[in-house]
Amino acid sequence: MHRIEVGSNILQANEEIAEENRQIFRTRGLFVVNIMSAPGAGKTSVLEETIKRLKPAVNIGVIEGDLHTTLDSDRINALGVPSFQITTGTVCHLDARMIHSALHGFTLDGLDLLFIENVGNLVCPAEFDLGEDLRVMIFSTVEGADKPKKYPVMFHEAEAVLLNKTDLVPYSGVPLDELIANVLDVNPEANIFPTSCRTGEGIDLWVNWLTSRISAPRSARDAATATGG
Amino acid sequence: MHRIEVGSNILQANEEIAEENRQIFRTRGLFVVNIMSAPGAGKTSVLEETIKRLKPAVNIGVIEGDLHTTLDSDRINALGVPSFQITTGTVCHLDARMIHSALHGFTLDGLDLLFIENVGNLVCPAEFDLGEDLRVMIFSTVEGADKPKKYPVMFHEAEAVLLNKTDLVPYSGVPLDELIANVLDVNPEANIFPTSCRTGEGIDLWVNWLTSRISAPRSARDAATATGG
């Protein structure tokens, strides 16, 4: 076994536009959640279950990121929630500029809560601040217990980690205890929610936590964002 | 629903280095397979099962790409096969230059077949030619039947698509027929293999196809590469 270390550059320009987005969101009193995961981990399904539990008390909007198709946006619209589809072509993540551009075509008027569903990718989305208040990661338990070690960046950046598709745990052979230990090893502060959109396991716990997080005083939120982001 | 189209640039410089790699591989009579998938789809498990069936008749080497850890390289070494771990840090794909650099530290002497296991990512790896003869995609059936439509580039670029973890199909609720139809919709020429490393389903079929592909005359291979890449 041999090893090469390959360097990387982080786009600082993104941070400036993200800060502009953040100011726009704060001026409106809008709470913004960036949802990230690998493809097929269940972002849209979790979003659907979350929206069902928060409506109509909370006015929700959704920005969807995908390479192609409006399939996810169509699913959100079917719930009576306004959504805006960004199609990135071959770009593997959303960045602050894409969100900024979206705000010219998507009205935030009357919204309390904006979800941004990122492109399905366990790597790059975690590096691009969009101006959000909260970063949530959804991980399909089927993908294996070793993944927090192999792809630590997103696990480290997320304030909440939903370990989804727990209904498949008995069949996939993935040890949930080991997975949780590996998440905490990378991010000891992570709020972890084992969830299943098929059985409903953990969804209420997650939504209750999200609600309390939205209701937290702005000062506490700022502190969390400053330490987490 | 609204939509923005975001443009993308393809790095042409990568092609030049990929061509250099290809010449190195061809001079040695080495057949090179680039294995791509999202995280946790089972690349390393498929590789283990494939190696077990090809050894000792075929002399195999493996280049592993991961953000962090040597876990995959360790698994390959345990089979008595030489491997080289590239850790990319935050880079979400392998490129031709990384492979070129690896060749300075990893001897190809005596090898017949080189597998390159790409970073787990359903987007970017498909855009970077490494100089390989064959592109293989592994897709976890658990990720959903709609993914070929949402992430078409890799499905389009792969000559073979392994639909893995079929043992979970009865529990995941993902319709395999619809998934296969969506793969063929994006890539009518795809060689599709439903597989499970747990039950062994489809692995022999895949390995037999790979063996025949390796044994094909160089002229046929070149034609396939020219039309597929």
Looking at residue B7, its pLDDT comes to 35
Looking at residue B229, its pLDDT comes to 38
Residue B4, in any domain of the structure: no
Parallel, antiparallel or unpaired: strands A3-5 and A113-117:
unpaired
Q: Residues B47-82: pLDDT tens digits? A: 999 999 999 999 999 999 999 999 999 999 999 999
- 3 state SS of A123: coil
With CA atoms as reference, the chain B residue closest to A72 would be: B150
Residue A112, in any domain of the structure: yes
| pLDDT beyond 80 at B179 | yes
Residue B133, in any domain of the structure: yes
B85:A2 CB<8 A: yes
**Alpha carbons B208 and B53: distance in angstroms, whole number:** 10
Q: Which residue in the set B2, B98, B146 is minimally distant from A6, CB to CB?
A: B98
- Mean of pLDDT over chain A: 91
Q: Which of A81, A84, A139, A172 is the best substitution to test chain B (most B C-beta atoms within 10 A)? A: A172
Task: Pick B3 or A58 by higher pLDDT.
Answer: A58
Quick check: bond before A148 cis, omega within 30?
no
- B11 pLDDT band, cuts 50/70/90, is confident
Beta sheet of A113-117, edge-to-edge order: A191-194, A160-164, A134-140, A31-37, A113-117, A60-66, A83-87, B3-5
Report the pLDDT averaged over residues B103-119. 96
Q: Which residue in the set A1, A70, A173 is minimally distant from B1, CB to CB?
A: A70
A143:B140 CB<8 A: yes
If contacts are CB pairs under 8 Å, which of residues 199-228 in chain B contact chain A? none
Residue A117, in any domain of the structure: yes
Q: Residues A142-192: pLDDT tens digits? A: 999 999 999 999 999 999 999 999 999 999 999 999 999 999 999 999 999
Contacts B72 to A, Cβ<8 Å: 150
CB pairs under 8 A between A and B: 188
Looking at residue A12, its pLDDT comes to 85
Residue A72's nearest CA partner among A102, A97, A40, A106 is: A40
Looking at residue A171, its pLDDT comes to 97
Its pTM stands at 0.90
Looking at residue B94, its pLDDT comes to 97
B89:A151 CB<8 A: no
pLDDT tens for chain A, 229 residues long, are 444 433 345 578 899 999 999 999 999 999 999 999 999 999 999 999 999 999 999 999 999 999 999 999 999 999 999 999 999 998 899 999 999 999 998 999 999 999 999 999 999 999 999 999 999 999 999 999 999 999 999 999 999 999 999 999 999 999 999 999 999 999 999 999 999 999 999 999 999 999 999 988 665 556 655 554 3
Residue A228, in any domain of the structure: no
Between the two ends of chain A, the Cα-to-Cα distance in Å is: 35
**Alpha carbons B176 and A46: distance in angstroms, whole number:** 22
Residue A45, in any domain of the structure: yes
Residue B62's nearest CA partner among B94, B20, B91, B90 is: B94
**Alpha carbons A130 and B17: distance in angstroms, whole number:** 34
Looking at residue A225, its pLDDT comes to 55
φ/ψ (deg, to 5) at B52: -60, -35
How many residues belong to chain B? 229
Q: A123 vs chain B: nearest CA distance in angstroms? A: 6
A153:B90 CB<8 A: yes
Looking at residue B223, its pLDDT comes to 60
Contacts A147 to B, Cβ<8 Å: 39-40
Is A40 an interface residue toward B (CB < 8 Å)?
Answer: yes
Number of domains in chain A: 1
Q: Which residue in the set A40, A73, A92 is minimally distant from B92, CB to CB?
A: A92
Is A38 an interface residue toward B (CB < 8 Å)?
Answer: yes
- 3 state SS of A107: coil
Q: Which residue in the set A3, A120, A146 is minimally distant from B87, CB to CB?
A: A3
Mind giving me the DSSP string for chain B? --EEE------THHHHHHHHHHHHHHHTT-EEEEEEESTTSSHHHHHHHHHHHHTTTS-EEEEEEESS-SHHHHHHHTTT--EEEEE-TT--S--HHHHHHHHHHS--TT-SEEEEE--S-SSGGGG---S-SEEEEEEEGGG-TTHHHHSHHHHHH-SEEEEE-GGGHHHH---HHHHHHHHHHH-TT-EEEE--TTT-TTHHHHHHHHHHHHHS-HHHHHHHHHHH-
Parallel, antiparallel or unpaired: strands A191-194 and A160-164:
parallel
| pLDDT beyond 90 at B174 | yes
Residue B3 exposure: Cα atoms within 13 Å on the Cβ side: 13
Looking at residue B216, its pLDDT comes to 81
- B226 pLDDT band, cuts 50/70/90, is low
Is A11 an interface residue toward B (CB < 8 Å)?
Answer: no
Residue B30, in any domain of the structure: yes
Looking at residue A218, its pLDDT comes to 62
Q: Residues B137-165: pLDDT tens digits? A: 999 999 999 999 999 999 999 999 999 99
Residue corresponding to tokens 């001079």: B27
**Alpha carbons A228 and A33: distance in angstroms, whole number:** 13
* Cα of A7 vs its chain's centroid, Å: 26
- Mean of pLDDT over chain B: 91
Residue B168's nearest CA partner among B214, B136, B199 is: B199
Q: Which two tokens stand for residue A4?
A: 């090469």
What residue spans of chain A are helical by DSSP H? 12-27, 43-54, 71-77, 96-105, 147-150, 152-157, 169-172, 176-186, 203-215, 218-228
> Residue B36 maps to which CATH number?
3.40.50.300
Q: Residues B36-54: pLDDT tens digits? A: 999 999 999 999 999 999 9
Residue corresponding to tokens 């250099």: B20
With CA atoms as reference, the chain A residue closest to B123 would be: A92
Looking at residue B2, its pLDDT comes to 41
Mind giving me the DSSP string for A178-205? HHHHHHHHH-TT-EEEE--TTT-TTHHH
**Alpha carbons B224 and B209: distance in angstroms, whole number:** 14
Is A155 an interface residue toward B (CB < 8 Å)?
Answer: no
Residue A164, in any domain of the structure: yes
ipTM summary value: 0.86
**Alpha carbons A80 and A58: distance in angstroms, whole number:** 13
Q: Which two tokens stand for residue A113?
A: 């809560």
Beta-bridge partner residues of B160: B136, B191
| pLDDT beyond 50 at B35 | yes
Range of the structural domain that residue B126 is part of: 26-220
